[in-house]
Structure 1
Amino acid sequence: MTPLPTRRFGGFLFDMDGTILSSIASAERAWTAWATRQGLDVAAFLPTIHGVQSVETIRRLNLPGVDPVAEAHALTEAEMLDVDDVDPIGGAGAFLAALPPDRWAIVTSAPRRLAEVRLKAAGLPLPGVFVTAEDAERSKPAPDGFLLGAKRLGVAPQDCLAFEDAPAGIAAAEAAGMAVVVVSQTHRHPMDTTHVMVTDYRDLAVEWDGASLKLDHRV
């Protein structure tokens, strides 16, 4: 069995795409169409889109005559219309339902409207604390989103456990001073990481003692 963190935590923070739900097919369809219109090498470009705000992905391309804000908005609209195969990561629904509502948050690089549509499509609950692209001054891999999530939970960052799947998000959680669990269900290639790695949530349980959370294996 995968060794899990042995310490207790004040709060759990979850990335969304690739961590509690899978929207890869939907996102890549929209981005493939966009990249094709821009004349990009689609196969080389697609791996760069995950875990980062759309506007930042477009901005760093430095494409002449392209307005990153307008293009990101159009991509969001396209992705919101394409959610038929957005599904929860294995066991995510039951795992989130077992957490005290005021002790977990979602920290995502997606815009709020898109995040809400995807959570609904995956049958997952909206969190009490929800940090989206509009809330964080800097996108992942900067720690801003995770730090804000911890602040809104009322928990010190070092007392939080972050669940992530992408390198940018992992780096953001590390920079925030948080322990990290890497969720690998959507990974196409093995990831080299020093953090605890789990496939999904089906074999995970949480112990709540009224003050703190502990991650454990399901009996």
Structure 2
Amino acid sequence: MKISAVLFDVDGVLLDSAGAHRRVWDAWSAARGLDPEKVWELTFGRRPEDTVRDVAVHLDPAAERKTLDRLLAEEMGGIQPVEGAPALLESLCGSPWAIVTAAPRDFVRARFAAKGLPLPAVQVYAGDVQHAKPAPDCFALAASRLGVPASECLVVEDAPAGIQAAVGAGCIAVGLTTTHTEDALGQAHMCVPSLADVRSLLTAHGFGADRS
């Protein structure tokens, strides 16, 4: 397995935001008369507007996205880095890596700045592609921007939609079991329970500042 770059999802991988997102979607679902559990199941790894299209075809996805972004902004203070994220990203200094996320650009940049997390030169957001996760476009675009073959990109994802997108793009898909079980991430080439394990995997393959 040759690793020339690492592509990270953000929510559930680098930022522990599940609680904040759950409160947002529960509040939105209640206000729209929808079943919160059914809505929540369709949110992971996907653009909010795509979830809206699936659960409420009578609503305007663009307008609802603005509402959801406003609700999320009110929850930003409670969002923290996933354990091990600062150390892992620090170890990648000088190595090719990117973030590939369905989260809003302003939200990600604000949270990274607030928590002292570095942002990579390559950042792919849902609005950068026509087809978001589970389509492979976002990971293919990140690999292209990095100038690295997709087959040499290791993707760290916590959601089935993200794993599906990574596999579809031809990347090495690693499932991080922070929000889903290993069974739910069954398409992944391997699963690990923590970012410390991701760091160990990268070190073992000579990638990052830890390489000898």
Q: 1:11 to 1:134 in 2, by over 3 A?
A: same
Query: What does residue 8 of structure 2 align with?
Result: 14
Identity of matched residues, %: 39
Q: Check if 1:30 corresponds to 2:48.
A: no
Q: Check if 1:191 corresponds to 2:183.
A: yes
Deviation of 1:54 (Å) = 0.5
In 2: Cα distance, 1:36 partner to 1:190 partner:
30
How far does the alpha carbon of each residue in 1:191-212 deviate from its partner, in whole angstroms, 9 at most, with x for none?
Answer: 3425311111224334499xx7
In 1: Cα distance, 2:128 partner to 2:150 partner:
17
Choose which of 161, 165, 181 in structure 2 pairs with 1:172: 165
In 1: Cα distance, 2:92 partner to 2:144 partner:
18
User: Which range moved further: 178-187 or 105-114?
Assistant: 178-187
Instruction: Give the unaligned 5+ runs of structure 2.
Output: none
1:126-141 paired onto structure 2 within 5 Å: 126-141=119-134
SS of the aligned residue for 1:163 comes to: strand
Choose which of 146, 150, 157 in structure 2 pairs with 1:157: 150
Give the ranges of 4+ consecutive aligned residues of structure 1 lying more than 4 Å apart after TM superposition.
Answer: none
Q: How many matched pairs?
A: 207
1:75-90 paired onto structure 2 within 5 Å: 75-90=68-83
Choose which of 86, 106, 114 in structure 2 pairs with 1:113: 106
Amino acid at match of 2:101: T
In 2: Cα distance, 1:58 partner to 1:96 partner:
33
In 2: Cα distance, 1:101 partner to 1:75 partner:
35
Deviation of 1:158 (Å) = 0.8
In 2: Cα distance, 1:197 partner to 1:138 partner:
26
TM-score, structure 2 as length reference:
0.88
TM-score, structure 1 as length reference:
0.86
Does the 8 Å contact 1:163/1:180 carry over to 2? yes
Query: What does residue 142 of structure 1 align with?
Result: 135
Greater share of helix:
2
In 1: Cα distance, 2:94 partner to 2:41 partner:
33
Deviation of 1:122 (Å) = 4.1
Q: Calculate the aligned-residue CA RMSD, in Å.
A: 2.4
Amino acid at match of 1:32: D
Amino acid at match of 1:75: L
Does the 8 Å contact 1:101/1:127 carry over to 2? no
In 1: Cα distance, 2:98 partner to 2:2 partner:
17
In 1: Cα distance, 2:51 partner to 2:94 partner:
32
Amino acid at match of 2:46: V
Instruction: Give the unaligned 5+ runs of structure 1.
Output: 1-6
